[in-house]
Amino acid sequence: MNITVQIPTALRRHTSGIERITCTAANLGELFSALDQQFPDLRPHLRDDAGQIRRFLNIYVNEEDIRFLGGNTYAFQDGDEVLLVPSIAGGLA
Amino acid sequence: MPGYGYELRCRECGKSWGNQPRSVCDDCFSPLEVFYDYDAIRGTFTRQQIAARAPNMWRYAELLPLPENYSPTLPIGFTPLLNAPRLGERLGTKNLFLKNDAVGLPTLSFKDRVVAVALAQARNFGFDTVACSSTGNLANAVAAQAARNGFHAWIFIPADLEPAKIVGTQVFGANLVRIAGSYDQVNRLCSQIADERNWGFVNVNLRPYYAEGSKTVGFEIAEQLGWRLPDNIVVPMAGGSLITKIKKAFGELIELGLVEPKPVRFFGAQATGCSPISTAIKAGNSEIEPQKPSTVARSLAIGNPADGHYAIKTISQTGGWAEDVSDSELVESIQLLAETEGVFTETAGGVTVGTADKLYRQGRIHPDETTVLCITGNGLKTTDVLTGKYETEVPIPPKIAEFDRYLESRLGVGEKDVPATVEV
């Protein structure tokens, strides 16, 4: 089973310019482990010091927000396309 | 902040990004915010100086991220702050005001303000094409001001928008792209497009500058109240930016000594069919859970509000609250506002009025306190929600006797109650 992950421009400097990777992760946890292994510099940009996914990082699977699919518990299907997209906010509080 | 007096910084890690078309900190993915050198304008930016300037939003230029020597092309903003005694009577208060951006120029919503600042920077950064994802009002504002300022415009909208908002975009010659999906999907797509094309997306790569335009709503409210802050303000929430920017505006006026420091409670208004922020407030959560919107208030139908986290903070830190109203309640509130104050607002305004009604009834807003409701859009853009609310009258012949008969039947009373014939 293969899924593809699209890396946004902002993060490609941590992936040696690679725009798209394929991997066999079964869920989000495994996907992050795979990314950690392949691109150690990427880790702090995707997760905070406590290991939580950064608040302003949205993850989509085939155009759907992964939170609607069960988030961490979603089991990737063969051919899933994963997008990492920063949430565009600018508020001050 | 050499040469500008303002710059972009990461809200979370504090890294400075200077001034450039960018909305996200590459280091931590957090949003960027415009920071100003307040010391540079303290003492020179005074009430008297502001009062001597033309009545539009550019009178607050020192607190907007504008290019040096920027020359505005439209007199945007300075919409009326109306006292609302008749609506107030219905809600049980004598101290109610409406900030009426339903009559904002050029496209009858508060979005004209944010677009004006975004396009000033779009020109500064050398873009010849501007773009946006929109639930309608922003589409109109970008299209009109792009035409006025000679930009190409690409506008991305969910396919099910109100017809008036679609025509009101196309008429300005903008390229309109209808997306078969929700606003949240349109927004995500635009983030990807902005990643690949050298366009000035007002609410993506120009967003930090764009969002600052919303502060002018707050500046104007304070000035129009006689340079004082209200006790409470009720703000409609879609992406959640406006409510945070009004708070920033009030804070800046205090910082510069233009108003007396005063706590203002911020109240957020949503439609129940798309209420991620009010739901989080009621549950005591600091983060939103995204929703799939289902409401006639399409201008507020953002299920994954980008500024939701900050909107929640604004509300909870100020002792405010958030509420939401059903589609039927918001339509009734559109009618109530029109019938009591002669202000015809769109669905978002109905949400604000309906929410204010709930907040008074819940005792969360005290009737003796000064409260401002932000009316952000015009009812002529969403007349479809009033379909079936009013009968189409059968025409009568142009004869006075026919009218007398009509009046009698309409009033359902005897001749004694009909105004007497006047002898001449």
Residues on A contacting B at a C-beta cutoff of 8 Å: 8-11, 13, 44-46, 48, 54-58, 60, 63, 65, 67-68, 83, 85-93
> Chain B residue closest to A68 (CA)?
B290
Mean pLDDT confidence for A25-48:
92
pLDDT bracket for residue B267 (50, 70, 90): very high
pLDDT bracket for residue B52 (50, 70, 90): very high
CA B236 to chain centre: 7
B30–A45 C-beta distance less than 8 A = no
As given in the structure block, the two tokens for residue B96 are 């109610």
Q: Looking at the predicted structure, is the pLDDT value of residue B2 above 60?
A: no
Per the CB < 8 A criterion, the answer to whether B11 and B30 are in contact is yes
A10–B314 C-beta distance less than 8 A = no
Give me the pLDDT at residue A91, please.
Answer: 46
Give me the pLDDT at residue A74, please.
Answer: 96
Question: How many angstroms away from the CA of A55 is the closest CA of chain B?
Answer: 8
Give me the pLDDT at residue B119, please.
Answer: 98
Hey, which bits of B67-140 come out as E strands? 81-83, 96-100, 129-133
- At the second CATH level, the architecture of B81-107+214-386 is 3-Layer(aba) Sandwich (3.40)
The more confidently predicted of residues A49 and B347 is B347
Cα B124 to Cα B247: distance, rounded to the nearest angstrom = 27
Helix (H) or strand (E) segment spanning residue A61: strand A57-61
- At the second CATH level, the architecture of A3-86 is Roll (3.10)
Mutate to test the interface with A, among B11, B12, B24, B187 (most CBs of A within 10 A): B24
Torsion region of A36: left, alpha or beta (phi above 0 gives left; psi -120 to 50 gives alpha): alpha
Residues of chain B with C-beta less than 8 angstroms from the C-beta of A68: 290, 292
| Interface ipTM > 0.90 | no
A93–B310 C-beta distance less than 8 A = yes
Query: Would you say the CATH fold of B111-211 matches that of B81-107+214-386?
Result: yes
Domain ranges of chain A: 3-86
pTM for this model (two decimals): 0.94
First to last CA, chain A: 44
Residues of chain A with C-beta less than 8 angstroms from the C-beta of B33: 90-92
H, E, C per residue of B313-338: HHHHHCCCEEEEECHHHHHHHHHHHH
Per the CB < 8 A criterion, the answer to whether B307 and B241 are in contact is yes
A57–B188 C-beta distance less than 8 A = no
pLDDT bracket for residue B424 (50, 70, 90): low
Give me the pLDDT at residue B418, please.
Answer: 52
Residues of chain A with C-beta less than 8 angstroms from the C-beta of B244: 91-93
Question: How many angstroms away from the CA of A1 is the closest CA of chain B?
Answer: 26
Task: Please name the member of B27, B207, B314 whose beta carbon is closest to the beta carbon of A45.
Answer: B27
DSSP letter for B80, please: -
Mean pLDDT confidence for B281-301:
95
pLDDT bracket for residue A93 (50, 70, 90): very low
B310–A89 C-beta distance less than 8 A = yes
CATH match of B111-211 with 3.40.50.1100: yes
Residues of chain A with C-beta less than 8 angstroms from the C-beta of B32: 90
Task: Kindly report, residue by residue over B386-410, the tens digit of the pLDDT.
Answer: 999 998 888 999 999 999 999 999 8
DSSP, collapsed to helix, strand or coil, labels residue B91 as helix
A89–B311 C-beta distance less than 8 A = no
> Chain B residue closest to A66 (CA)?
B290
The more confidently predicted of residues A70 and B2 is A70
Task: Kindly report, residue by residue over A49-71, the tens digit of the pLDDT.
Answer: 888 888 888 899 998 999 999 99
Residues of chain B with C-beta less than 8 angstroms from the C-beta of A56: 24, 29-31
User: In the predicted model, what is the mean pLDDT of chain B?
Assistant: 94
Task: Kindly report, residue by residue over A67-90, the tens digit of the pLDDT.
Answer: 999 999 999 999 999 999 887 755
A56–B31 C-beta distance less than 8 A = yes
Task: Kindly report, residue by residue over B91-107, the tens digit of the pLDDT.
Answer: 999 999 999 999 999 99
pLDDT bracket for residue B1 (50, 70, 90): low
Instruction: Give whichever of B10-14, B115-119, B179-183 has the largest mean pLDDT.
Output: B115-119
Cα B347 to Cα B237: distance, rounded to the nearest angstrom = 12
Give me the pLDDT at residue B417, please.
Answer: 54
Strand partners for B232: B265, B371
Question: How many angstroms away from the CA of B190 is the closest CA of chain A?
Answer: 10
The more confidently predicted of residues B12 and B88 is B88
